Structure 1
Amino acid sequence: MPSQLWPYITPGIPDELFENLPGIPLSQRELRLLLISQLRLKPDSVLWDIGAGTGTIPVEVGLLCPQGRVLAVERDEEVANLIKRNCDRFEVKNVKVIEGSAPECLHDIKPTPDRVCIEGGKAIQEILQAVWLYLPLSGRVVATAANLESLYAISQSFSQLRARNIEVVQSAVNRLETRGFSQTFVAADPIFIVSGEKLD
């Protein structure tokens, strides 16, 4: 259901509507749209969002899939509380915040997912190996990489796991901003979005 703060059925909540903390990554609106489209959500999907940061993805998906469930995994207590506050701001009731470090905490999480979003992280290969065990056939994983090393690690893991229907998208987003008396286009940091499915 739409919230009073975002009374629309489309994703793409402006970044400034989220509460944020200095130094905590916030997935920018345009990148969020790409990521959510790659998840290919169903009305009742169960999403694990690992490395949920500010909670932008859990909030957007929680609003898009009111019959679904989102489990947001975040290792830092202060950041986990931030996710909860953002869910409260948007009146999202179907997000549960899991405070813990992946992949170690994943075996305790219920229900198991049919969609997994992994937003960065140093242990990306270990996390991918772990979540693959919980995914059903036709389950889908979307992971982000901010550099070539992470992209290689994700690609190598997908190959070892025999993921199918692999897609790689690199964002190229420019936003119009006012600086002084002029308006100029400012580039958002490019990011790779890698997705794959468990089909056997």
Structure 2
Amino acid sequence: MTNDKKMSSSLWPYVTPGIPDDLFEQLPGIPLSQREVRLLLISALRMQPNSLLWDIGAGTGTISVEMGLLCPQGKIVAVERDGEVANLIRRNCERFEVQNVQVIEGSAPECLKNLPQPPQRVCIGGVRQIKNILKEVWQYLPPEGRVVATASNLESLYGISEAFAELHARNIEVVQSAVNRLETRGTHQTFAPVNPIFILSGEKLD
């Protein structure tokens, strides 16, 4: 995209990331990257102004919406296999007036060959077969392309780590979130933990 105009949203009229979770439309049981974790993900992606991002397993669409607002000259492709959830992403894009997000209904890795290419950045989260998906994504990633993947359990953590090792990824980083939020429960205020998650990132060699 060549439009130099800044994208803005009346619901979130700021130039900083970190949209509160409750501003997004949600569905019971559908994953949502919580704000503090989302900030770590956005930082790990290292988007450039005109990057093409594949957001695989987009869930509620929080990453797609935030990146769409932050990178109005870029393009975000949100991949979600469930039609109802894909429609949820579309509604959240409309809610935040984001126009550079394309929602694709499909299952990875089979649908990847039909996506706009090549992606400079890929975000993978909340998906099955994450190791297979990561290895398939690598074929479409150009040199110096970057992948960020999340793991909420040890099996996914091992799968991503093994894939990065087998693919000879460089500049690998691993972060585990540990965040507490102040919450009111009854007449008391207490700190409640945000679900911990592993965030792994790596780059493709030249």
Could you state the TM-score of these two structures normalised by the residue count of structure 2?
Answer: 0.96
Corresponding residue number in structure 2 for 1:33:
39
Corresponding residue number in structure 2 for 1:125:
131
Deviations 1:41-88 (A, max 9, x none): 100010000000000000000000000000000000000000000000
Q: How many percent identity over aligned positions?
A: 74
Q: 1:124 and 1:26 mapped to 2: Cα distance?
A: 18
Paired residue secondary structure (2:181): strand
Write the mapping of 1:49-68 to structure 2, written as runs, cut at 5 A.
49-68=55-74
Q: Which runs of 5+ in 2 are unaligned?
A: 1-6
* Count of residue pairs brought into register by the alignment: 200
Could you state the TM-score of these two structures normalised by the residue count of structure 1?
Answer: 0.99
Could you tell which deviates more after superposition, 112-121 or 52-61? 112-121
After TM superposition, give the deviation of residue 126 of structure 1 in Å: 1.0
After TM superposition, give the deviation of residue 151 of structure 1 in Å: 0.6
Could you tell which deviates more after superposition, 90-99 or 122-131? 122-131
Alpha-carbon RMSD across the aligned residues, in angstroms, is: 0.6
Paired residue secondary structure (1:101): coil
Query: Given residue 43 of structure 2, which amino acid in structure 1 is its aligned partner?
Result: S
After TM superposition, give the deviation of residue 6 of structure 1 in Å: 0.2
After TM superposition, give the deviation of residue 112 of structure 1 in Å: 2.1
- Is 1:180 aligned to residue 189 of structure 2? no
Write the mapping of 1:1-200 to structure 2, written as runs, cut at 5 A.
1-200=7-206
Q: Which runs of 5+ in 1 are unaligned?
A: none
Q: 1:110 and 1:53 mapped to 2: Cα distance?
A: 20
Q: 2:27 and 2:201 mapped to 1: Cα distance?
A: 29
- Kept in 2, the 8 Å contact 1:120–1:143? The answer is no
Query: Given residue 83 of structure 1, which amino acid in structure 2 is its aligned partner?
Result: I
Q: 1:69 and 1:75 mapped to 2: Cα distance?
A: 20
- Kept in 1, the 8 Å contact 2:31–2:126? The answer is no
